Structure 1
Amino acid sequence: MAGESDQEKTEQPTGKKLAKARQEGQVAVSKEVPSVLILLFSLCVFFFAGSWMFDRLINFMKGLLQNIGVVSIGVMSLRLLLFSVFKEIIIILAPLMGAVVLAGVIGHVAQFGFLFTGKPLTPKFSKMDPVKGMKKLFSLKSYVELVKMLIKTGVVGGVAFIMLRGEADKFPLLIRMEVWEILIFIGQVSFKICFYTCIALIILAALDFAFQKWQHVKGLKMTKQEVKDEAKQSEGDPKIKSRIRSAQMEMARRRMMEAVHEADVIITNPTRLAIALQFDAKKMTAPKVTAKGSGFVAERIRAIAMEHSIPIVEEKPLAQTLYKTVEIDDLIPVSLYQAVAEVLAYVYRLKGISKK
């Protein structure tokens, strides 16, 4: 039973897995967010620049129709005419097209930030599996998309019905209005429908984004074993780490052994421990431990000391205290000044050097 529970994806995805999924283009994204922003930006364009767009279109059509009788039929003349028509259409639609592009970019960047990757475009034969395709048709995501489509249809239809019913008493008056007034009335009603539809779709987009976020995290959930394996990969293989530590210890031991010959005295207890002390009154405020070790390392320290004629002094209590309390390259504590000073004085007398 424990083995089965370990295979259940109950753990939240780690930062590493989320980052990897992002690199592959797998992010939580709602199609409703850019859609509602496009609608909102388009409404703003029509509200602020609609009259300019309409006036420019009317003037262009008026000028085109007024000169239609004097236009000569020819390859060059038709080419110039089509070019002018195309250019005018681009100018008129430029604010709307710019708003649509900007809304689409903001709608995606606001959800997952800037992301450029071509991996989602890479063809995968697994996506062509008909069995998986059938499963997707009856998946939770498909049901949610169906519900969203029905809600959107209901919202748009409901808002349109409510708006039109509120304006129903004005319909009989349209037969007395000029064409210009009828167009203004249609534009106003259409704008109201789009505005209130946009408000409803903003709420739907927020709910859809929350659902997409939840579904994205759920799809990336990991088993307990996957979390353990990732932790091992992040921390490194224990065997490799052990070898690295061994190599580091060996390098440190070599550096320590190289520092033994600079010591003034070796204190032992007498065979198990060996501590190398160095003192330079001009550079140091207290004696320093340059090397220490036990067992085989202690033997090596004593051997190097004998090779370099460094005095070896047997002081069992002092050796034990230094070994336990002072690290390599550290100065001895004040409590050991007296004991070490006596040892150094003895060494200096052996060397015939006056103690400073």
Structure 2
Amino acid sequence: MSDDSDNEKTHDPTQKRLDDAHERGDVAKSQEVNTWFLIGGATLVLSSFGSSIGSGLEAPMRNLIANSWMIRVDGAGLITLAKTLGAAVFSAMAMPMLFLVIAAVGGNLIQHRFVWSAEGLTPKFSKISPAAGFARIFGKQALANFLKGLFKLIALAAVMCAVLWPERFRLDAMVHFDPTVILGVTVALTLKVMGAVVAMLTAVAIADFIFQYRTWYEKQKMSLQEVKDEHKQSEGDPHIKGKIRQLRNQMMKKRMMAAVPKASVIITNPTHYAVALSYERGMTAPICVAKGVDAIALKIREVAGVHDIPIVENVPLARALYATTKIDEAIPTEHYHAVAEIIGYVMGLKRGLNGRRT
């Protein structure tokens, strides 16, 4: 039972899981958002650049028709004509096409960060599996696409009827209009229809993006075992980390005990705390060479006793030094005076002992 619960994908994906999916090219993406940007961009291009496109193409076309009798129909002449017309079309359409490219790229970047991955191009046998194909045809995604397409078809028909039905009488009379007038009316009606389509697709794009994102997010969910495995990979095996920490503590303890004989004084609590300080003339401040509590403090006092290191009991100072001083670092300035008195006392004792011995 516990194994089954560990394998159920009920946990939210970690940031690493989401980043890995992004690197593989697996991102939440709605084609309806891209369609909205493209149609919206085309509508904006037609309304903003329509006249400039027409004027840009009008002059070369007039010239072509007016001088058609002068056009050479041999190979070189046709190539020259193609280059001339191509240059005219490119100059007229360059800015609108650039705007559409920006709209297409923006439709992707607004949904997710830039992604570059060749994994989607890698052949996979699962893509040609009959079972996978059946799941794609009759799965939740296929049903959502069918309902979305049906709604778009009905909504598009409703929008076009709502826009064009009031114009039916004018459309009937357009057969008697001058061609230049027909062009203007056609452009105006086209913009009206495209604007209504963009408004309709706004709701479709928002709903589809939410659906695609939720579907993608559910697919990225992790089982408890996957969360544990990822934690081990990123943070390291806790058993190994504990062993390393234990070895590090043992090495630090050995190093401290080796430094205790070099200490000038041991300040104790008297039994719970012990701090070993080293001081020599010319030093700006005493250095903490070892410290510990309980068992380590007892061991420090034992080593100090073997090597005749003076042990001074000062409960508040021992606690303060243990809390504020690191190994191999000078004591804080606020403890200079108290420690100086103790070291002066210890040095006085050593001088007295040395005097009696001589």
TM tier, smaller: 0.7 to 0.9
Shift of the 349–290 alpha-carbon distance from structure 1 to 2, 3 Å rule, reads farther
CA contact (8 A) 2:321 2:331 kept: no
Aligned to 1:213: 213
Q: Is contact 2:269-2:316 (8 Å) kept?
A: yes
Q: Contact conserved, 2:278 with 2:287, CA < 8 A, in 1?
A: yes
Among candidates 329, 349, 352, match of residue 349 of structure 1 = 352
How far the C-alpha of 1:68 sits from its partner, in A, is 1.9
Inter-partner Cα distance in structure 1 for 2:267 and 2:163 = 99
What is the letter of the counterpart of residue 67 of structure 1? N
The TM-score normalised by the length of structure 1 is 0.83
Q: TM-score, structure 2 length as denominator?
A: 0.83
Is this contact kept in 2: 1:260–1:290, CA < 8 A?
yes
User: Which residue in the other structure is 1:125 paired with?
Assistant: 125
Distance across 2 between alignment mates of 1:70 and 1:179: 27
Q: Secondary structure at the match of 1:123?
A: coil
Give unpaired runs (5+ residues) of structure 2.
Answer: none
The question of whether the paired residues in 1 share the 8 Å contact of 2:261 and 2:309 is answered with no
Q: Greater CA deviation, 248-257 or 135-144? A: 248-257
Query: After the TM superposition, which of the residue ranges 287-296 and 156-165 deviates more from structure 2?
Result: 287-296
Tell me the secondary structure at the aligned position of residue 112 of structure 1. Answer: coil
Structure 2 counterparts to residues 318-329 of structure 1, below 5 A: 322=318, 326=322, 328=327, 329=329
CA distance in 2: counterparts of 1:268 and 1:100, whole angstroms: 79
Judged with a 3 Å threshold, the aligned counterparts in structure 2 of structure 1 residues 26 and 77 are, in CA distance, closer, same or farther, namely same
Mean Cα displacement is larger for which, 42-51 or 317-326?
A: 317-326
Kindly report which structure 2 residues correspond to 1:285-324, keeping only aligned pairs within 5 A, or say none: 289-292=288-291, 311-313=308-310, 322=318
In the alignment, what sits opposite 1:31? 31
Deviation by residue 1:244-267 (Cα, 9 ceiling, x = unmatched):
213432443454345435422457
In 2, distance between residues paired with 1:39 and 1:121? 28
Do 1:261 and 1:305's aligned partners in 2 also have CA atoms closer than 8 Å?
no
The structural deviation recorded for 1:199 is 0.9
Structure 2: distance between partners of 1:46 and 1:274: 84
Deviation, 1:160, is 1.0
1:129-144 to 2 correspondences below 5 Å = 129-144=129-144
Q: In the aligned structure 1, how far is the partner of 2:21 from the partner of 2:70?
A: 64
Classify 1:93/1:336 alpha carbon distance in 2 versus 1 (closer, same or farther; 3 Å): closer
Match for 1:199: what amino acid?
Answer: A
CA-CA distance at 1:271 after TM superposition: 12
Q: Deviations over 1:201-241 (max 9, x none)?
A: 12211111111111111110111222222223222112321
Residues 301-332 of structure 1 deviation map (CA, whole Å, 9 limit, x = unaligned): 866996xxx533466x6699948972645749
Deviation track 1:11-68 (CA, whole Å, cap 9, x = no partner) reads 1111110111111111111111121111111111111111121233233222212222
Note if contact 1:56-1:92 (Cα within 8 Å) is conserved in structure 2. yes
1:148 is aligned with what amino acid? K
- Kept in 2, the 8 Å contact 1:288–1:330? The answer is yes
Aligned length: 348
- C-alpha contact (below 8 Å) 2:269/2:318 kept by paired residues: no
More moved, 295-304 vs 338-347: 295-304
Tell me the CA shift for residue 189 of structure 1: 1.2
1:118 deviates by 2.1
Name whichever of 188-197 and 317-326 sits farther off.
Answer: 317-326
CA distance in structure 2 between the aligned counterparts of 1:28 and 1:341, rounded to whole angstroms: 73
Asked if 2 retains the 8 angstrom alpha-carbon contact of 1:37 and 1:103, the reply is yes
Kindly provide the amino acid, as one letter, of the partner of residue 159 in structure 2. Answer: V
Cα offset, 1:82, TM superposition = 1.6
Q: 1:244 to 1:324 in 2, by over 3 A?
A: farther
Query: Do structure 1's residue 245 and structure 2's residue 245 form an aligned pair?
Result: yes
Q: How big is the shift at 1:347?
A: 3.0
Give ranges in structure 1 of 5+ residues lacking alignment: none
Measure, in 2, the Cα distance between the counterparts of 1:275 and 1:65: 103
Contact 1:274–1:292 at 8 Å: present in 2 too?
A: yes
Q: Which residue of 1 aligns with 2:63?
A: 63
Decide whether the 8 Å contact of 2:267 with 2:318 is kept in 1: no
Q: d(CA) in 1 for partners of 2:11 and 2:31?
A: 27
Given that residues 13 and 220 in structure 2 are in contact (C-alpha distance below 8 angstroms), is that contact kept between their aligned partners in structure 1? yes
Residue 100, structure 1, aligned to residue 106, structure 2: no
Amino acid at match of 2:176: R
The residue correspondences of 1:1-356 to structure 2 (distance < 5 A) are 1-253=1-253, 255-257=255-257, 259-265=259-265, 276-280=276-280, 283=283, 289-292=288-291, 311-313=308-310, 322=318, 326=322, 328=327, 329=329, 331=331, 342-352=345-355
1:110-157 deviations in whole A, cap 9, x for unaligned?
Answer: 111222222222222222222111111111111111111112222221
Pairwise CA distance, 1:78? 1.5
Q: Does 45-54 or 321-330 show the bigger shift? A: 321-330
The percentage of counterpart residues that share the same residue type is 30
